[in-house]
Structure 1
Amino acid sequence: MSALTLKNVYKAFGDTEVLKDISIEVEQGEFVVFVGPSGCGKSTLLRVIAGLEEATAGEVHIDGKLVNTVPPSKRGIAMVFQSYALYPHLNVANNMSLALKQEGVSKAEIAERVQEASRMLQLDDYLKRFPSELSGGQRQRVAIGRAVVRQPKLFLLDEPLSNLDAALRVSTRLEIASLHKQLDATMIYVTHDQTEAMTLADKIVVLRDGRVEQVGSPMELYNKPANKFVAGFLGSPAMNFLPASLLKDGDTRVIGLRPEYIYLDENGPLSAKVQHVEQLGGDTNVIAMVGEHMVTVRLFGQHAIAPNQQLTLGFDPATLHYFDE
């Protein structure tokens, strides 16, 4: 039985359609990431699943049951928001246990669940602290712990790492991945960060303008993007797009070429003038112009390349992607 099924879901605010014919299947235990640019509808879709927004049309099924008219508290879901939404007057233990107390769970079971979640999230030393005494990463772990103790059928996470600095994002991302494995839980995770999507997901749903562009595993989407939008959205640095006519084969389509598949080649087909060089230590990113078209080249290691230098570039034709209109 699927953990979540969306059938032809639409959502409109007045005359503005935000979600357009969304159909998605999420299996038990899957980690599914909704990804797309700001305004694509991913957070609205999560809120429709949670019951915080009512679908204008279509069906939402959780654990095999139609839940369109079921209130959020009865859907068997737990949500982690971008803002931590912790009660400032309650310590960590009480923030994590409040929902269980409201549901009438026994004191002994509450203590057991809080202890287990605290162990998983390494919060044992902070249970008596208040939110004001915690770092941003610790607060986010408490918010995740509050969801864990409820033992929901479905975890919904709405950009939970966006308020954290770069180092904390990486460490908390690892904690969420580890938690998913420990709990064997079904998780829906919303982000605009394609790195989070690629590193966390079993399955990625790419959204644009309220529609699903493609669904698949991270490597399926990376290696076989359905269209130019998906190809350009996943991957860092982003895929290069050039007219196929540059290859002098008379083709009118657009070619896509990932930066890591381009290399320095004295006999290569592309002549480029360097605009800018990003020395990253382990990698060197070279931004160059091929005629009127900007191209990013990702070279492994350190390279003594300077602006205005002329380069000749090659690539394996097998790595090309072709896109028509």
Structure 2
Amino acid sequence: MGSLQLKSIRKAYGSHEVLKGIDLEVKDGEFVIFVGPSGCGKSTLLRTIAGLEDATSGSVQIDGVEVGHVAPAKRGIAMVFQSYALYPHLTVKDNMGLGLKQAGKPKAEIEDKVGKAASMLSLDPYLARRPAELSGGQRQRVAIGRAIVREPKLFLFDEPLSNLDAALRVNTRLEIARLHRSLKATMIYVTHDQVEAMTLADKIVVLNAGQIEQIGSPMDLYNRPANVFVAGFIGSPQMNFIDGARLGDKNAKTIGIRPEHLGLSRESGDWKGKVVHVEHLGADTIVYLESEQVGLITVRLFGEHRYAPDDIVYATPMVGSMHRFGADDRVLA
């Protein structure tokens, strides 16, 4: 079991309030990702769950048991940090089994658990090596393996891929996804990278300035953002935002349209504009155009398209793809 309940969690440093009343339920076996801009409180919230930070007020419950006054080591959690935090003088095998050794577990049990975790993470060839002999991705897998052998109720990941290069991030992301399916464990993961959030999570928690903006599945947040902040944060390239008055909408302060929900033509369309920049990415072509009707907008086209700066083009939104937001920046029904 590994359920988590957070009730009215607040955290303040003096007069500065970092968490402003967080309520959240994580079900056993869920993969939940906290995402948001730097300084939004996501790492502080994770550390509060782990017991590395004390909540100013509120309740943290793991499997229905209040753990606010329980030491981190007794909470049944394992944490994987951005830094690998491996002992340089110990082998991979000893690094992975150190926590069990310190807990006084029998040698045979340590051997068995380390062996299973190493096999799961394809670390068998490296068990006799020391961290300096490993790549960044291999070191992070050792850190994950060290967490696995403890068989925790909750796995907590604090931006574990941010020190890896792009290719390693993709590979390690796949390994973490496979690991979650294999262990059927509860995982809570912090990242500022929305691609990680969209590709790994069962449920995403979008945080901003110490508050939860929206909770939902990746496609819930993409298709039905609750407000302008979530709409702009989820999706790449970012959603286009247009002043409602420019489109004659008297009720909507802002109208949003995703770049991939716009079509482009040289002959005709709803919004005439001039191309100001084009990004040729192979699989996609990103076109930026300036229109008198709606201002600067971004269009994402699938595949390669031969547009160039100063071309005159016409953009047309797909039917039913507009998002309307009111004066309070919340979505309009």
Count of residue correspondences: 325
- Distance (Å, rounded) in 1 between the aligned partners of 2:137 and 2:126: 12
Q: CA offsets per residue over residues 150-176 of structure 1, 9 Å max, x none? A: 000000000000000000000100000
Corresponding residue number in structure 2 for 1:312: 314
Corresponding residue number in structure 2 for 1:280: 281
The residue identity in structure 2 corresponding to 1:184 is K
The residue identity in structure 1 corresponding to 2:16 is T
Corresponding residue number in structure 1 for 2:21: 21
Cα distance change, pair 217–267 in 1 and its aligned pair in 2 (3 A) = same
Q: Equivalent residue of 1:318, what SS?
A: coil
Q: Equivalent residue of 1:268, what SS?
A: coil
- Distance (Å, rounded) in 2 between the aligned partners of 1:290 and 1:213: 31
Q: Given that residues 286 and 297 in structure 1 are in contact (C-alpha distance below 8 angstroms), is that contact kept between their aligned partners in structure 2?
A: yes
- Distance (Å, rounded) in 2 between the aligned partners of 1:227 and 1:317: 21
Shift of 1:253: 2.1
Corresponding residue number in structure 2 for 1:151: 151
- Distance (Å, rounded) in 2 between the aligned partners of 1:293 and 1:247: 11
Where structure 1 has 5 or more consecutive residues not aligned to the other structure, the ranges are: none
Q: Say which is worse superposed, 281-290 or 246-255, in terms of deviation.
A: 246-255
TM-score (norm. length: structure 2): 0.95
Q: Given that residues 252 and 324 in structure 2 are in contact (C-alpha distance below 8 angstroms), is that contact kept between their aligned partners in structure 1?
A: no
1:299 maps onto 2:304 in alignment: no
Show the 5 A alignment for 1:39-78: 39-78=39-78
Corresponding residue number in structure 2 for 1:237: 237
1:128 maps onto 2:128 in alignment: yes
- Distance (Å, rounded) in 1 between the aligned partners of 2:21 and 2:252: 32
Corresponding residue number in structure 2 for 1:163: 163
Q: Say which is worse superposed, 306-315 or 28-37, in terms of deviation.
A: 306-315
- Distance (Å, rounded) in 1 between the aligned partners of 2:255 and 2:99: 53
Q: Say which is worse superposed, 315-324 or 143-152, in terms of deviation.
A: 315-324
Q: Given that residues 273 and 290 in structure 1 are in contact (C-alpha distance below 8 angstroms), is that contact kept between their aligned partners in structure 2?
A: yes
Q: Equivalent residue of 1:97, what SS?
A: helix
The residue identity in structure 2 corresponding to 1:254 is T
Q: Given that residues 2 and 25 in structure 1 are in contact (C-alpha distance below 8 angstroms), is that contact kept between their aligned partners in structure 2?
A: no
- Distance (Å, rounded) in 2 between the aligned partners of 1:22 and 1:225: 19
The residue identity in structure 1 corresponding to 2:185 is A
Q: Given that residues 78 and 150 in structure 1 are in contact (C-alpha distance below 8 angstroms), is that contact kept between their aligned partners in structure 2?
A: yes
TM-score (norm. length: structure 1): 0.98
Q: Given that residues 247 and 269 in structure 1 are in contact (C-alpha distance below 8 angstroms), is that contact kept between their aligned partners in structure 2?
A: no
The residue identity in structure 2 corresponding to 1:298 is R
Q: Say which is worse superposed, 135-144 or 266-275, in terms of deviation.
A: 266-275
Q: Equivalent residue of 1:25, what SS?
A: strand
Q: CA offsets per residue over residues 187-242 of structure 1, 9 Å max, x none? A: 00000000000000000000000000000111111100000000000001111101
- Distance (Å, rounded) in 2 between the aligned partners of 1:253 and 1:16: 31
Q: Equivalent residue of 2:320, what SS?
A: helix
Corresponding residue number in structure 2 for 1:114: 114
Show the 5 A alignment for 1:214-229: 214-229=214-229
Corresponding residue number in structure 2 for 1:196: 196
Corresponding residue number in structure 1 for 2:83: 83
Q: Equivalent residue of 1:128, what SS?
A: coil
Identity within the alignment, %: 64
Q: Given that residues 22 and 211 in structure 1 are in contact (C-alpha distance below 8 angstroms), is that contact kept between their aligned partners in structure 2?
A: yes
Corresponding residue number in structure 1 for 2:330: none
Cα distance change, pair 23–249 in 1 and its aligned pair in 2 (3 A) = closer
Q: Say which is worse superposed, 308-317 or 68-77, in terms of deviation.
A: 308-317
- Distance (Å, rounded) in 2 between the aligned partners of 1:93 and 1:225: 45
Where structure 2 has 5 or more consecutive residues not aligned to the other structure, the ranges are: 328-333
Q: Equivalent residue of 1:197, what SS?
A: helix
Aligned-residue RMSD, C-alpha: 1.2
Show the 5 A alignment for 1:94-109: 94-109=94-109
Shift of 1:309: 1.3
The residue identity in structure 1 corresponding to 2:98 is L
Cα distance change, pair 167–17 in 1 and its aligned pair in 2 (3 A) = same
Q: Given that residues 2 and 154 in structure 2 are in contact (C-alpha distance below 8 angstroms), is that contact kept between their aligned partners in structure 1?
A: no
Q: Equivalent residue of 1:317, what SS?
A: coil
Q: Equivalent residue of 1:87, what SS?
A: coil
- Distance (Å, rounded) in 1 between the aligned partners of 2:106 and 2:85: 24
Q: Given that residues 2 and 64 in structure 1 are in contact (C-alpha distance below 8 angstroms), is that contact kept between their aligned partners in structure 2?
A: no
Q: Given that residues 241 and 254 in structure 1 are in contact (C-alpha distance below 8 angstroms), is that contact kept between their aligned partners in structure 2?
A: yes
